[in-house]
Each structure stands twice: as C-alpha cells, then as structure tokens.
Amino acid sequence: MRFKRSPKTSEALVAVSTYLLSEFPMVCSPTVKTAMMATMGTYHDRVSSACESYFESFRRRTHVTPKSYLSFINGYKSLYYEKHEFINTLAERMNVGLGKLKEASESVAQLSKDLEVKEKELAIASIRADEVLAEVTVSAEAATKVKNEVQVVRDRAQRLVDGIEKEKAVAEGKLEAARPALEEATAALNQFPKDQINDETVELLQPYFEMEDYTMECAMKACGNVAGLLAWTRAMASFFSINKEVLPLKANLAIQENRLNIANNELHNAEATLAEKQAEFDKVKAKCDAAMKEKQDLLDDAEMCRNKMQAASALIDGLSGEKVRWTEQSKEFKSQINRLVGDVLQLTGFLSYCGPFNQSYRDKLLKDWQAELLNDKIPFSENLNIISALVDPPTVSEWNLQGLPGDDLSVQNGIVVTKATRYPLLIDPQTQGRAWIKTKEAENELQVTSLNHKFFRTHLEDCFPK
C-alpha cells in the first residue's frame, strides 16, 4: 500500500531547505540553487515512497521523519563545505604550480632579453678593453724603454756618487791628518804672509837646516833672539812643505764636491723622470684594470644570466608534460566544484537515507535521484562512485584488516557508520559489523553493553559524563 504526500507537505519541505540554505555559500547560479533546494524535498519524498515499497517487498519497516530531513540538510552543508575546501585547496596548489611555470616562462623570456642586452654591452666593453689594452701595451713598452734608459743613467749616477763620496772621504782624511801640523806651522809663523813663501825661499834655507849646529840647543846658548829666528825659519819651511801637499787635496776636494753635486743632480733628475714615467704607466694600467674589470663583470653577469635561463628552461622543458596535465587537472577541479551542488546532494542523500536499504534499493534510489538532477538541470558527476567519493582506499584497507568484509555493501555500511550525522542502528545477524566496530574502536576504550545488562545505566553514565 502506497501513501501519497500532499502538496503542502512538499512545499513545507522546500520551505525548510530554502530557509536553512538560502544564505549558505555555494558555487552555482541562483537558479540552480533554487532547483537544488526544491530537489531536496523530492529526495525526501522518494525515500518515503521507497520505505513503503521496501516494506511491501521485504516486510522490513523503515521510516523517515522531519528529523531525518533536517539531518539531511545539515549533512549537506557540512559535506559541501568539506568537499569544496578540499577541492579548492587542491585547485589552488595546482594553480600555484601553473603560476610558477608561467612565471618561469616569463622569466626565461625576460632573461633572454636581458642576455641579449648584456651581450651587446659585453661586445662594446670587449672592444673598449682591447683598445685600452693596446694603449697600455704601447705605453708599457715606452715606459719600460724609458725606465731602462733612466735606470742606466741612475745606476751610472749612483756609481759616480758612490765613487766620488769615496774619493772625497779619502781627501778629507788626508786633509784632516795634515790639519794639526798645518795649524802648528801657521801658529808659529804668526802674522807672516804665508802665501809669499815659495820654493826658492825654502831652497835658500835648506843649507842652514843641514848644519850641525843649526839646532834649538845651540841657538838658545848663543842668544834667545837667534833661537826665535831658528824656530821661525823651520816653521816657515814646515808650513810650506805641509801646505804644498794640502793645497792639491783642497783643490781635489773642491773638484770632487762639484762633481758630487752634478752627479746628485743627475741622479735626482733621473729618479724624477723614472717616477713620472711610472706614474704615467700606473695611470694607464689603472685605466686598463678598470676596463678589464668592467669586461669581466659583464662576462660574469652574462654567464649568471645564461645559467639562470638554462636552469629555468630545463625546468620548463622537464615540466612541459606536467603543465598539460596540470592545466587539465585545474579545469577538472573547477568542473568538480561546479558539480559539487549535485554530487554532494547524492552523497548526503546516501549517508542520510540509504542505510536501512539493501544494495538493490540503494542503487535504485541513487538512479532515481540522478534522474531528478537531470530533470532539474542540476550539475552532477554522472559516473560518481559513492565509495571512492566518501572514503579513500587506505581507509578501506584498514577496515578490511579490522574485520570489515570487502564487498561494496559492507564498505558502504562502514561509510554510513563513520560519516553519517546520526547514530546508526546495525542489523547484524552474522555479527560481522559488531566484530569490526569492536576492533576499530578498541583503542578508544569502546564500552559494550545491552538493555538487560545489570550495569547498563552505569555504562550510559560513563559514556555521557556530566
């Protein structure tokens, strides 16, 4: 026996979904959103009809209530938000990757332009550096030639200075050695005009000096004045003899001092010329060093630019295939987000309503709902797989290890148990579900009890502490 819902009931269902979802953010047009909220009421009506048909076919009674419908709407909101955030995060990551590839492509293009400019600058700098290098080479050759010539003059002047200084030292030594005797003779002659003494005078005095009694002792015995005269004649001869040797020494010393002054001037001029040429060479060399540094800097800069461009090009080439896949995947993510409005309706409908039914009724409900989506022009994925859309393969494998059978019905039941917003009631004649839940929740200190257990109340109080 089938029961038909009144139009007022359907209107009330749509009014509730509209009230609860009108402000909920969704990626769809207002028309699609309005159709979706109306389709939620249709889903609920179809499940009500399926409950009656299920009882007639299998004599198993199941019900849907207003609470079921509210749970359906709230579950839709939660699952839509979760799926949207998940897909949107993946899409953003994919778009970031595509953006990086785009930036890399733009960077390569810009680096190529920069490299072209740098290579032109490098060509100009190379020409300029070669010109400066040629100029330096000429200047260096000229400076080296002058330096060598000046160095010869400098060395000659230095040797001359060193020789003159030695000769001067010898002359000064001899003069210094003769100075005491000269001073003594000069003092003895007193005011006598010493410069008038000549060879003839000394020659006339020589016979007297050879006489045996021409001595100071004999002169003192004879007369004091005679002794003075004797001393004066001997001093005059001694002065002439010493001065005759000293005069050439003085003359030679004057000559050597004059030569030394000339040699020092020549040496000074040579060193000044050498310093001037060295300064000119240093100036040109500094200019050359600057030009060579500019050239090397441009070479290094161009090489760095080339390396960056090659690295970026290698990255782009290596990811060229990925770029196509990422672009397609990005489009697919966008499409998935657009289809979420219908896909989440299917998934939430399954979680909220399909638990009490067997596999054939579940499949029939899902097909009926898809027909409604097509009829109301609500986007959805036609090949939507309930299991893969709600749980990942590693989790299913873990459930299997915990004792859950691997068939689709059992896995769907596991999804309802873990993801439905309401507490599930398991009809489990083979106790497979019971064994699985006990294993799965063992680490959470699962409390097992029953209505006729003597500590049933205590168990409930432990589960819901105040």
Tell me the three-class secondary structure of 231-273, residue by residue: HHHHHHHHHHHHHHHHHHHHHHHHHHHHHHHHHHHHHHHHHHH
- 5 has a pLDDT exceeding 60: no
Together in a domain, 294 and 403: no
Hunting for tokens 């209505």 — which residue is that? 451
* Residues 360-394: b if buried by 16+ CB within 10 A, e if exposed: ebbeebbebbbebbeebebbbeeebebeebbbeee
Domain presence at residue 298: yes
- 192 has a pLDDT exceeding 70: no
Instruction: Report pLDDT digits (tens) over 139-187.
Output: 777 777 777 777 777 787 778 777 777 777 777 777 677 667 667 666 6
pLDDT-based confidence at 3, cuts 50/70/90? very low
- The CA distance from 316 to 331, in Å, is 20
Together in a domain, 122 and 224: yes
- The CA distance from 114 to 107, in Å, is 10
- The CA distance from 412 to 390, in Å, is 9
CB-CB contact of 355 with 433 (8 Å):
no
The residue type of 333 is F
Domain presence at residue 52: no
Q: Has this prediction a pTM greater than 0.75?
A: no
The pLDDT score that the predictor gives to residue 1 is 32
Together in a domain, 288 and 393: no
The residue type of 53 is S
Please count the structural domains in the chain: 2
- Domain finish residue from 317, 333, 348: 317
Together in a domain, 125 and 264: yes
Domain presence at residue 389: yes
Q: Running DSSP on this structure, what letter comes out for residue 442?
A: G
- The CA distance from 128 to 367, in Å, is 81
What range does the domain containing 164 cover?
115-317
Dmax (CA) of the chain: 193
Domain presence at residue 390: yes
Together in a domain, 400 and 255: no
- Domain finish residue from 291, 317, 343: 317
Average pLDDT, the chain: 82
CB-CB contact of 370 with 378 (8 Å):
no
- Domain finish residue from 302, 317, 332: 317
Domain presence at residue 374: no
**CATH no. for residue 406?**
3.40.50.300
- The CA distance from 262 to 266, in Å, is 6
Together in a domain, 308 and 397: no
Instruction: Report pLDDT digits (tens) over 412-451.
Output: 999 999 998 877 788 888 888 889 999 988 888 888 888 8
Instruction: Report pLDDT digits (tens) over 262-285.
Output: 878 877 887 788 788 778 778 877
Together in a domain, 308 and 432: no
Q: How far lies 189's CA from each of 195, 197, 215, 222, 240, in Å?
A: 11, 11, 18, 22, 11
pLDDT mean over 8-20 = 86
- 390 has a pLDDT exceeding 90: yes
The residue type of 75 is G
Together in a domain, 282 and 426: no
